[in-house]
Amino acid sequence: MAIDYTAMAVSAKNMIEANGIACTFSRAGRDPVDATKPWRGPTTSGVAAHPPVSYAGVKAILFPEEYKVGRGEVVRTGFMTLLVAHNSFPNGAVDMRTIDTVDEGGFKWRVADVFPLMPGVTPLIYQFRMEK
């Protein structure tokens, strides 16, 4: 019996949107303002080869990274984990592995790592590991 990954993706999106909070996923432009002086920072216009992008109102689930030490003591690592469904983004969206900041209710998080959960070539969920 074949596994229906499309149905799994829809289920993941429905569960995350029912329980998640709205976040804004952003990426700064990747092209320098002046190609002869790339140290001056990325462009802010949308005419570059790799323009800045922003996806607002995407529902995601956040939880702090914790681990137990000794007799049940819980230590927070300073990282947050965020889960978001792949199909929560519009068709033709940029590769989520290039997103570099997430705004969650006014808190800006820097994306440290992005791990796609994708059996084969079908992306279902992205796990973002974020830090302040």
Mean pLDDT, residues 22-30 taken together: 85
pTM: predicted TM-score of the whole model, two decimal places: 0.75
Dist. CA 57–CA 91, nearest whole Å = 15
User: What band does 39 get if pLDDT is binned at 50, 70 and 90?
Assistant: low
Q: If we measure between CA atoms, which residue out of 109, 100, 13 comes closest to residue 63?
A: 109
Quick check: 49 pLDDT over 60? no
pLDDT tens by residue, 76-105: 777 889 999 998 988 878 788 889 999 988
Residue 114: the pLDDT is 92
Instruction: Please measure the distance between the N-terminal and C-terminal CA atoms of the chain and give it in whole angstroms.
Output: 45
Residue 46: the pLDDT is 47
3-class SS at 84? Answer: strand
Instruction: Give how many domains the chain has, as a whole number.
Output: 1
Residue 72 structural domain = 5-131
